[in-house]
């Protein structure tokens, strides 16, 4: 792409695909019909609209079954899910957590909320996710194992965990990341917020590490309005996460007794009812999103990010690679001026003042992708 004329076929295709001749085309709008309304009304009629009710349990079971995880724990949002996952794997104040700078700010925020600090390593251009080579190089050059812990040599701080993100739903090379983490005694927690319906080597994202975390924000593949979900095969981690998310209340018919200082991170039954109806449509959503991705990829003149080798991506957001930052900005201005929502990737975390002083490796791929990639409208079409 080099000028506005070259972009017009793409603009026209987007409008034709969504059947909107004029007006706003969102980046990724939710899709609801009578199925959602029916379950939400049923939840309202039951009066169990808060943190107790059958839909929370059913939603957890449905997500666990879909992903192949043994356990799922519903929470109020993805950020709190990451916070809770890091809590139960043992993150302590002053610890360090390896992650990627190319991410939504929630990834770093969940670490900082523990009074710990993120350490940024580079991502890959192919997967957009954390680069195993960059991770391995940082650990080999800057850490040592001591008493079963990974210690950052220069600061003496413990590197307790690693949080890669499956960016835009494209799976990272998570098996290699896991192997490196195990070698260095670092707990792997997957930020799978954007990757429900994505698989790596036929295994669902979020099921490789000790825990994985999904987001059900309004712009995700499925939504509960707000909400998140932890998944794990570790029964004790699941039990502890559920216990902490529900104020650490000891089960009893009427007494209120609690055995840990804990949190109220429970997903309301009302949100879970919405999510359960959405889960019933997830296979159809994924099929439609793959069709849209193929259409984008077949459009002449576009360089689209495609699912990497050994991966099945959900194509949460389709990603277009521009030739330069100047072209990217011109394309964004044109699309948004035409009432078509398009957006760049996030400002890398190390370029934000709040995280500028964090430890990091060289990040050339992070900065290259942030300067060139644009997300295109990617939501499913709602049918009456």
Q: Which domain CATH number covers 127?
A: 3.40.640.10
Residue 17 lies in a domain: no
Structure-token match 């195993």, residue found: 132
If one counts the domains in the chain, the total is 1
Tell me the backbone φ, ψ of residue 25, rounded to 5 degrees: -115, 110
Domain assignment present for 136: yes
Q: Is residue 54, in this structure, part of any structural domain at all?
A: yes
Residue 337 included in any domain: no
Indicate whether 338 belongs to any domain.
no
DSSP characters over 109-131: HHHHTTT-EEEEE-B-TTTSSB-
- Whole-number Å distance between alpha carbons of 253 and 187: 37
pLDDT, residue 6, reads 75
Q: Does a structural domain hold residue 133?
A: yes
CA distances, 261 to each of 113, 176, 244, 245 (Å): 16, 36, 8, 11
Residue 336 lies in a domain: no
For the stretch 212-247, what's the b/e string if a residue is b when 16 or more beta carbons lie within 10 angstroms of its beta carbon?
bbbbbbebbbbbbbbbbbbbbbbeebbebbbbbbbb
pLDDT of res. 3: 63
Can you give the pLDDT at residue 365? 98
The answer to whether residues 145 and 184 touch, using CB atoms and an 8 Å cutoff, is yes
Of the candidates 223, 320, 212, 324, the residue with the CA atom closest to the CA atom of residue 267 = 223
**165 belongs to a structural domain:** yes
Give the closest residue to 57 by CA, choosing from 32, 45, 74: 74
Question: So what's the pLDDT on residue 188?
Answer: 98
pLDDT profile of the chain (384 residues), mean per 10: 74 94 95 95 94 93 98 98 98 98 98 98 98 98 97 98 98 98 98 98 98 97 97 98 96 94 96 97 98 95 94 98 95 95 97 98 98 98 74
Domain residues for the domain of 65 are: 34-278
Cα within 13 Å of Cα(73), Cβ side: 29
């Amino acid at each position: 792409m080099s000028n506005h004329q070259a972009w017009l076929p793409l603009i026209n295709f987007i409008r034709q695909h969504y059947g909107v001749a004029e007006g706003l085309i969102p980046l990724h709008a939710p899709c609801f019909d009578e199925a959602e309304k029916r379950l939400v009304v049923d939840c309202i009629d039951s009066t169990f609209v808060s943190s107790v009710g059958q839909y929370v349990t059913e939603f957890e079971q449905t997500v666990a079954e879909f992903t192949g995880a043994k356990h799922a724990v519903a929470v109020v949002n993805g950020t709190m899910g990451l916070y809770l996952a890091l809590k139960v794997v043992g993150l302590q104040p002053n610890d360090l957590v390896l992650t990627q700078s190319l991410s939504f700010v929630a990834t770093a925020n969940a670490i900082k909320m523990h009074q710990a600090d993120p350490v940024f390593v580079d991502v890959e251009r192919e997967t957009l996710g954390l680069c195993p080579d960059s991770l391995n190089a940082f650990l080999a050059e800057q850490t040592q194992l001591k008493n079963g812990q990974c210690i950052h040599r220069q600061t003496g701080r413990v590197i307790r965990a690693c949080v890669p993100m499956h960016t835009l739903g494209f799976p990272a090379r998570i098996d290699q990341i896991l192997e490196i983490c195990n070698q260095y005694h670092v707990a792997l927690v997957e930020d799978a917020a954007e990757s429900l319906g994505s698989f790596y080597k036929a295994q669902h994202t979020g099921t490789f590490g000790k825990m994985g975390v999904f987001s059900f924000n309004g712009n995700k593949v499925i939504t509960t309005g707000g909400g998140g979900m932890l998944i794990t095969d570790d029964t004790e981690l699941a039990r502890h996460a559920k216990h902490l998310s529900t104020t650490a209340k000891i089960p009893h018919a009427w007494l209120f007794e609690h055995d840990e200082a804990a949190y109220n991170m429970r997903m309301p039954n009302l949100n879970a009812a919405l999510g359960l109806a959405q889960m019933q449509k997830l296979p159809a959503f994924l099929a439609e999103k793959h069709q849209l991705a193929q259409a984008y990829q077949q459009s002449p003149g576009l360089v689209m990010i495609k699912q990497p080798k050994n991966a099945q991506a959900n194509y949460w957001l389709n990603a277009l690679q521009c030739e330069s930052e100047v072209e990217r900005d011109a394309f964004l201005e044109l699309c948004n001026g035409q009432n078509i929502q398009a957006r760049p990737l996030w400002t890398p975390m190390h370029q934000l003042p709040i995280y500028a002083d964090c430890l990091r490796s060289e990040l050339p791929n992070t900065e290259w992708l942030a300067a060139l990639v644009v997300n295109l409208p990617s939501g499913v079409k709602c049918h009456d």
